[in-house]
Amino acid sequence: MTTLVTVLLLAMLAGTAITIARVRGVFVAVMLTGIYSLLSASWMLVLDAPDVAFTEAAVGAGVATVLMLSALALTTNQERRPDRPTILPLVVVVLTGSVLVYGTLDLPSIGDPLAPAQQHVVPRYLHESPHEIHIPNVVTSVLASYRGYDTLGETTVIFTAGLGVIMILGGAQQVLSWQRSRRREDEEGAIELDDYTAAPLPEPRDPIRPEHGWDARGEAAASGGEGAGDDEGAAPEEDA
Amino acid sequence: MNHLIVPRVMAKIMIPFILLYAFYVQFHGDYSPGGGFQAGVIFAAAVILYTLIFRVAEAERAVRPSAVRVIGALGLLLYAGVGVVTLFKGGAYLEYGVLKHDPVHGQHLGILLVELGVGVCVAAIMISIFYAFVDFLRAQ
């Protein structure tokens, strides 16, 4: 029964992976990665690793899908067709895959008590954890206590990754708003195009610019009271 | 907004339970699968669901973006700080046994604090990343 479920899950995983590789719509691909995560979470559960399954379901199928969708909103949702034939990448992938599969032939089978992974520190953790830490879930005692350094490092990685995303998106946002203000002034004819391209990239936050723009607009609004047609002519003179 | 009436009502019912479940996973991690990381992600999922269903402004009023970033840093500091405390108590870095008189109780306390730090940090960072995307999309 377990074998049947495993084979079924792995077949569905492989099918989902191939579909993700072949599909052109990025939105479909993102939803399929969510399904892939859910399938692998079920498979982890079959392998008696509920902690990993839990993480995979919560992160992979839940939050990661939402984050991918929000990232998708920043780009197009159609993958470009490759302009070169894709034979060489296929050959490389097939070769790498077969080498990896060949490598697994030497590995001990899943759950083998004589596997090196079960011989090293695992017996000590399993035997001593009830006396030393007295927590029924050995996974927690290994993660938080025996391997506390690793978990601290992982938490730092998550924190750093989050900071990176915040800084990249925040910086891009500043550049965007700066470009927009430049474009607006360009449309008003305040700056010659040559100056615009020749000038080195200024700081995203220019302390003078918003004030200046506000001033010019204020002038335009003030003159707008007298005659709306004069606005176009008034603004450039103001800046020059 | 009328077509969102069913998701809105469902979310109103579900979100408290999702949050409660996050706390269960956080503090029951010693006895059942789960721990700080999973709890943090589930907590963040509840906030993200709130943001998706209701307006972003309302979510930002409930969970302030500036506060979330500080809280994320505090979570990591809590984890690292437990190690510093064990150093001052005469143990090795992150050796929880010295936190209390009985080493087993010290381990319990240390694991509780460390998992809390992980949960707080992960939840805050996930929410912050989502807010960063939302902010960027709103600015465009």
Contact B104 A133 (CB under 8 A): yes
pLDDT of residue B64: 92
Per residue in A20-72, pLDDT (tens digit) is 988 988 999 999 999 999 999 999 999 888 889 999 998 888 899 998 988 88
Task: Using pLDDT thresholds of 50, 70 and 90, give the confidence band for residue B135.
Answer: confident
CA angle A46, A50, A52 (to 5 degrees): 105
Residue A134: DSSP 8-state: -
Cα gap B11→B18, rounded to integer Å: 10
C-beta separation of A46 from A5 below 8 A: yes
Contact B110 A54 (CB under 8 A): no
pLDDT at A186 over 80: no
Cα gap B134→B140, rounded to integer Å: 10
Nearest to A145 among B111, B128, B135 (CB): B111
Q: Does the beta carbon of B30 lie under 8 angstroms from any beta carbon of chain A?
A: yes
pLDDT at B119 over 80: yes
Q: With a CB-CB cutoff of 8 Å, which residues 84-113 of chain B face chain A?
A: 93-94, 96, 103-104, 107-108, 110-111
Average confidence score pLDDT of chain A: 79
pLDDT at A183 over 90: no
Cα gap A234→A226, rounded to integer Å: 12
pLDDT of residue B78: 95
CA-based nearest residue in chain A for residue B65: A166
CA angle B66, B70, B74 (to 5 degrees): 165
pLDDT of residue A187: 73
pLDDT at A128 over 70: yes
pLDDT of residue A220: 44
At residue A179, the 3 state secondary structure works out as helix
Cα gap A16→A1, rounded to integer Å: 22
Instruction: Determine the residue type at A41.
Output: A
pLDDT of residue A215: 43
pLDDT at A236 over 70: no
Work out the average pLDDT over B53-67.
Answer: 89
Contact A66 B130 (CB under 8 A): yes
Task: Using pLDDT thresholds of 50, 70 and 90, give the confidence band for residue B82.
Answer: very high
ipTM: 0.91
CA-based nearest residue in chain B for residue A69: B133
Average the pLDDT over each of A101-105, A231-235, B74-78, B100-104 and give the range with the smallest value: A231-235
Q: Does the beta carbon of A126 lie under 8 angstroms from any beta carbon of chain B?
A: no
Nearest C-alpha neighbor of B47 from the set B69, B25, B64, B26: B64
| Most B CBs within 10 Å, among A55, A63, A67, A156, to test the B interface | A63
Q: Specify the pTM.
A: 0.78
Work out the average pLDDT over B80-88.
Answer: 93
pLDDT at A229 over 70: no
Cα gap A26→A81, rounded to integer Å: 12
Per residue in B1-55, pLDDT (tens digit) is 567 889 899 999 999 999 999 999 999 988 888 888 999 999 999 999 999 888 8
Task: Using pLDDT thresholds of 50, 70 and 90, give the confidence band for residue A204.
Answer: low
Which residues in chain B touch residue A133, judged by CB atoms under 8 angstroms apart?
104, 107-108, 111
pLDDT at A238 over 70: no
Work out the average pLDDT over A114-134.
Answer: 85
Q: What percent of chain B has pLDDT over 70?
A: 98
Q: What contacts A21, CB < 8 A, 6 or more positions away? A: none
pLDDT at A191 over 80: no
Nearest C-alpha neighbor of A236 from the set A181, A187, A199: A187
Nearest C-alpha neighbor of B120 from the set A116, A210, A41, A158: A158
Nearest to B107 among A53, A145, A173 (CB): A145
pLDDT at A192 over 80: no
